[in-house]
Amino acid sequence: MATIFSTCYLFLPMILSLFPTTLCATVVEDLKNLHQPPGFNSTILSNCLKNPSLRYCSSSPIMDFDEIFKFTIVASHLCNESKNPNCVESFPKVDLRNRPNIAPLYLSFDFFWKYCPFTIMSIDLSNNSIKGGFPTDVFFCTQIHSLDLSINAFSGDIPIQSFSSFTNLTFLNLSYNYFSESKLSDSQFFKRFNSSSFLHSGALLDQKRFTVKAVVLLVCFPILVIFLVICLVWLCFQRPDFLPSKLQRGRRFTPAILKAATDGFSKKYLVGMSDVVHIYKGILRDGTEVKIEMYWDDIPRDSYRRFVDECEVLSKLHHKNLVRVLGWCKSRKFRAIITEWTREENVEMWLSGSGSPWKHRVKVLMGVVECMRYMQKEWPEIDYELDTSSILLSDKMEPLISRFKVGDHNRNQRKIHRFGIFLLEMILNKKVEEELDGGDAGFIRNMRNLNHGDLQQMIDERMEVTETNFEQVKQALSLGLMCIDESISEKPSLGMILNSVARAYKTSLVLPSANHRTFKGHMPLQTN
């Protein structure tokens, strides 16, 4: 029996005699079953008197005898497990190498580590697959020379600061763990160990992983950048409408955009065609409806240049009575000009349709003259067509000049003449151009000599001309005649035309329409 005791519990010779009758069991069972023998407290106190350097002696202010008792149980077991030659006399090493079943258990007895015996010089916990953070309890054993935690599964940060308490540590092995990368090289303490203490510990920069990272950075990153650049370039050249609006410089049209807008130039979107031009109604990515005029003709290179120059100028025009040119596009097969989508109706169709009152006609005239004025002031080099078939009408009954030609300087006289014809056609609802074939002079003379009755016959009766605005119509007629009269040297200026039309327009806004007048008759309160 005595030998069993000695191997089991006789770690501290002073307390050897305190365990008289206990059988050897596992450390867990002993911790549960053993109780302080009588005189334990006083033995411990006398130990401390003899050897005050024992760690538990300095656990002031009050010594926890219960804890110290448990410590002696664990210490005696651990000493035996570590195969220390004479556990009664000494306990020089904690050797739990290759003991995955018990190593974590002993590591968990924090009261043991707290009173870590001064005799222990070496701690070996290697090859145990222990999980968790760095076992900080070992820092209580400040005196150790050797610490081996290799081949485990420790993770998290290495407490670099705490290592400085290991002033006498000469051997350290943290290899094969999962620590986080640490700045060990910054600490003076770790200079005494070389990299073989940290092989695959995670703490040092892993050369292999570093190489992999470097390869990724050096190879994949440039590839990614090149790929992105290619994408961006492709977008810029093919589908700039996919770029964020900040990166889009104005509205640029590419064949790919037009193809997408018309579902691959499908028949569904084709609204008109001739030998050379196909007209599509396209829908852009942002939902804008546009008219795409595509010319499939083969024109020489310099004409292409001119086409682009013209489009560039036209896209700068901005007036409520001009069809907006949104952009252009050229490819090897076609060139296209893209304008805002408008209603299909032109003034000619409008006039020959249900007819329209004088009031609306004046509004159209006003829009046309305002636009002529804008063009004269801002873009004198651009010519435009003024016949009733090329002026479109917007939803708001605004006229829209739709055909332009760049490079026609100072032909004001001709523009006035064409406006005169337009004006006359608006009033007479007939093709004045055809009548003029026989010579302007005769036509003008005839018109001027008409008496009141004949005049009323001549003008379009659908205008619902009343007595109040008949004078206006007459004035407009004579203005139109002045515009086309080649015999007078001084044609009316655009400014003058603008004034007269504006006057008529303002009056037409004030004058009650035919309907309005009848309505007023039924409102006795307002007639005074």
Ligand X SMILES: *[C@@H]1O[C@H](CO)[C@@H](O)[C@H](O)[C@H]1NC(C)=O
What residues line the site for ligand X (CB under 6 A)? 7-8, 24, 36, 38, 40-41, 65, 77, 80, 83, 98, 100, 127, 142-143, 150-151, 167-168, 173, 175-176, 194-197, 199
The Cα–Cα gap between 372 and 403 comes to: 13
CB 21, min distance to ligand X, A: 15
Find the shortest distance in angstroms from Cβ 30 to ligand X: 9
Establish how many alpha carbons lie within 13 A of residue 432's alpha carbon, considering only the half-sphere containing its beta carbon.
30
Whose Cβ is closer to ligand X: residue 98's or residue 331's? 98
Tell me the torsion sign for CA atoms 466, 467, 471, 474.
positive
Eight-state DSSP code of residue 275 = S
Taking the complex as a whole, how short is the minimal distance between the CB of residue 198 and ligand X, in angstroms? 9
Angle in degrees, CA 54, 60, 64, rounded to 5: 85
Q: Which lies closer to ligand X via its Cβ, residue 93 or residue 319?
A: 93
Closer CB to ligand X, 140 or 269, in the complex: 140
Q: Shortest approach of ligand X to residue 233 CB, angstroms? A: 50
364 in Cβ contact with 314 (< 8 Å): no
Closest approach of ligand X to the CB of residue 238, in Å: 57
Q: How far is the CB of 141 from ligand X (least distance, A)?
A: 9
| Shorter beta-carbon distance to ligand X: residue 45 or 488 | 45
Residues facing residue 16 across a β-bridge: none
- Taking the complex as a whole, the smallest distance from the CB of residue 156 to ligand X amounts, in Å, to 19
Joined together, the tokens standing for residue 514 give 């035919």
Nearer to ligand X, 76 or 182 (CB): 76
Q: State the Cα–Cα distance between residues 96 and 91, nearest whole angstrom.
A: 13
Judged by beta carbon, residue 131 or residue 503, the one nearer ligand X is 131
- In the block, which residue shows the tokens 């900040």? 246
Edge-first strand order for the sheet with 277-283 is 270-273, 277-283, 289-295, 335-340, 325-330
Minimal distance, residue 87 CB to ligand X, in Å = 8
Q: H or E segment at 384?
A: strand 382-384
Closer residue to ligand X (CB): 65 or 295: 65
* Number of Cβ atoms within 10 Å of the Cβ of 217: 10
Asked whether 463 and 355 are in contact (CB, 8 A), the reply is yes
Task: Pick between residue 167 and residue 526 the one whose CB is nearest to ligand X.
Answer: 167
* C-alpha–C-alpha distance, residues 137 and 447, integer Å: 118
Q: How large is the angle between the packed helices 467-484 and 440-448, nearest 10 degrees?
A: 160
Residue 329 φ/ψ, nearest 5 degrees: -155, 140
Identify which of residues 149 and 423 has a Cβ nearer to ligand X in the complex: 149
Residue with the closest Cβ to ligand X?
A: 143
* Shortest spacing between CB 79 and ligand X, in angstroms: 9
